[in-house]
Amino acid sequence: MLWQRSPMAAEDIMAALGDKERWHVSTVKTLLSRLVKKGAIEAQRDGRRYLYSPIMERDQWLSDESAGLLDRLFHGRIAPFVAHFSHSRKLSKRDIAELKELIRVLDNER
């Protein structure tokens, strides 16, 4: 939400999410607080509330979080991640085709 429109208060985020997510305002505030501590977003006081804005670009945040997930759960290796995911959830034919294409492109780059 914050990459689409900012600054936003927690209540604005809740309103923008609408019925998509059924989170409580306290859950959203906890998430926002954690993102502030991680340095992904900043909070500025606006009267009795805080307005939140992203500090990091979305692509950088996704890259950092993806690398952290792989490091924590799969020792930085993508193949075990894909293997685990393919066993726990069925990969669609489209997913498999996209993975094959990605591998083909990566092979050609090296």
Q: What is the pLDDT of residues 4-59, one digit of tens each?
A: 999 999 989 988 887 776 788 888 899 999 999 988 899 999 999 999 999 988 89
SS3 14: helix
Residue 103: predicted pLDDT: 92
Average pLDDT (95-107) is 92
The pLDDT-based confidence of 74 (bands split at 50, 70, 90) is very high
What's the CA gap between 35 and 26, in Å, rounded?
A: 14
Residue of 14 and 89 predicted with greater confidence: 14
Say what the pLDDT of residue 18 is: 76
The reported pTM is 0.65
